[in-house]
Amino acid sequence: MPNCCWRGCGEPVENDEARMTNDEGSTNARMTKGRAHTSRADSDFVIDSSFNASPARTIRHSSLSEGLIANAAQLAELLPLIERNARVAVDTEADSLHCYREKLCLLQVSLPEGDFLVDPLVENDLAPLADTLARKEIVLHGADYDLRLLRRALNFQPARLFDTVIAARLLGVREFSYAALVEKYFGIQLAKGSQKANWALRPLSPKMEEYARNDTHYLLPLAEKLAKQLIERDRFEWFQQSCERAIVLAAIDRERDAEKAWRIPGSGLIRGREAAILRALWHWRDREAERFDRPSFHVLRNDQLIETARAACRGETLQFRHFSERRARDFQATINSALSLKEEDWPETRKRRGERPTREMERAAETLRKRRDHAASELKIEPSFIAPRATIDAIAANGARAEQLLVAWQRQLIGL
């Protein structure tokens, strides 16, 4: 990797929470002593000499930074700006709260030159943009959702990633939402009014545009501050490992299992005929939501499905005012059909996950937890960020899964 050279003006904010123990014999000292003088050389996070780390950057391309980039000419003007930068701040907006199957509705891009909003809903070829971004280091906050959305919409996968959530958690920051980090490092409180807006609507209101620009406006200077702290604490290599894993995991499709999808939160105690009704109602709701292109909770909330299933078994019928006559009729027909099922057609009772752990597994898990908790205490990071409980139990049951479930720095901290 190329040598790391810091030429930005942003200095990290020091705080007791993010400071780490470097005493001789501490977890961090043992793991980093051999590379204490090589961290900067090994890091390839380079801030361009022209980069202004202040969040109040001057926008020099007003023709692109006002309104949405919605045609080929504007896109052709944006691409060279991206090309000349090593890293790009990116965010996305979708319409998951307003339709059945979410879609990419807005792509925000921030560079030292300014903040830009790309409209993916117009008939415009975004393949050149995706290809250009794929060659850059992409700065995202909580990357998994955005990477999955971009992969579905643009077949996009970055070569390199800087996830500010991973960086903050590795520094022991407990409040790591984007708004919390912007306030912590820049003393600025961001407005939250457009979080649940319908981003498929056009034109976007000035308030929505401002919200969208702010979502990436602070990411580059924030990444600089976080990266500098990670390097100072000899955790940048750990950070890179976790970001590489995040890219891999986001590229794995999550297939919905129709036999499990209906087991919604709160349904754990549902059994027998109630489960049969709940299953039928869940699939009915899913069809209704798809038919009218609305999120499923617009038809019925999860708690209403569960309440309806229990009431039906008591011989009671619940009425919902927002149902049309046709929907109410189909709703009742679904319940009646489920009530008529024979017992052998009811869903199977959910079995316990896996076999009961042996004493040897329990001892192994306890040993791993103690190592994890000790390392977390010394490093002042959350134990679950090193290894969640379920992961520790899985490794205790089958040690061969450690490499699949944890990256190298996590395995090393718990002695694997």
Assess whether pLDDT exceeds 90 at residue 334. Answer: yes
Mean per-residue pLDDT for 197-212? 95
Residue-wise pLDDT for 349-377, tens only, equals 766 555 688 999 999 999 999 999 999 99
Whole-number percent of the chain with pLDDT over 70: 83
Write down the domain spans for the chain.
27-250, 264-345, 359-413
CA-to-CA separations, 276 to 263, 283, 290, 307, in angstroms, rounded: 11, 11, 22, 13
30: Cβ contacts below 8 Å, ≥ 6 apart: none
List the single range of 171-185, 206-220, 341-355, 370-384 with lowest mean pLDDT: 341-355
Among 3.30.420.10, 3.40.50.1860, 3.40.605.10, 3.40.50.620, name the CATH number for the domain at 27-250: 3.30.420.10
Over the range 79-89, which residues count as b (16 or more CB within 10 Å of their CB) and which as e?
eebbeebebbb
pLDDT for the residue 288: 97
Give yes or no for residue 7 having a pLDDT over 50: no
Could you tell me whether strands 104-111 and 114-118 are parallel, antiparallel, or unpaired per DSSP bridges?
A: antiparallel
Given this model, what pLDDT does residue 54 score? 54
Chain segment 214-267, per-residue pLDDT in tens: 999 999 999 999 999 999 999 999 999 999 999 999 999 888 787 788 999 988
Q: Give the contacts of 396 (CB within 8 A, at least 6 positions apart).
A: 357, 361, 362, 364, 365, 368
What was the pLDDT predicted at 56? 56
Alpha carbon distance 68, 109 (integer Å): 11
User: Most confidently modeled of 7-11, 218-222, 315-319, 400-404?
Assistant: 218-222
Distance CA 216, CA 212 (A): 7
* Greatest C-alpha distance within the chain: 74
Q: Which of 52-61, 181-190, 203-212, 313-322 has the lowest mean pLDDT?
A: 52-61
pLDDT tier at 188, thresholds 50, 70, 90: very high
Is 18's pLDDT higher than 50? no
User: pLDDT at residue 40 above 70?
Assistant: no
Residue 199 to residue 95: CA distance in whole angstroms: 6
Give CA–CA dist 95/101, Å, rounded: 8
Task: Give the HSE-up count for residue 57: Cα atoms under 13 Å, Cβ half-sphere.
Answer: 27
In whole angstroms, what is the distance from residue 86 CA to residue 46 CA? 8
More confident residue, 250 or 270: 250
Indicate the Cα dihedral angle 177, 179, 184, 186, nearest 10°.
Answer: 140
Q: How far apart are CA 152 and CA 154, in angstroms?
A: 6
Tokens 């904010």 locate to 13
pLDDT of residue 266: 87
Q: How distant, in Å, are the alpha carbons of 62, 69, 83 from that of 77?
A: 12, 10, 11
Q: Cβ–Cβ contacts within 10 Å for residue 390, how many?
A: 11
pLDDT above 50 (res 38)? no
Q: Which has the minimum average pLDDT: 102-106, 266-270, 310-314?
A: 266-270
**Per-residue pLDDT tens digits for 271-300:** 999 999 999 999 999 999 999 999 999 999
Mean pLDDT of the chain: 87
**27-250 and 264-345: same fold?**
no
Tell which CATH architecture fits domain 264-345: Orthogonal Bundle (1.10)
Instruction: Please tell me the total number of residues recorded for the chain in this structure.
Output: 416
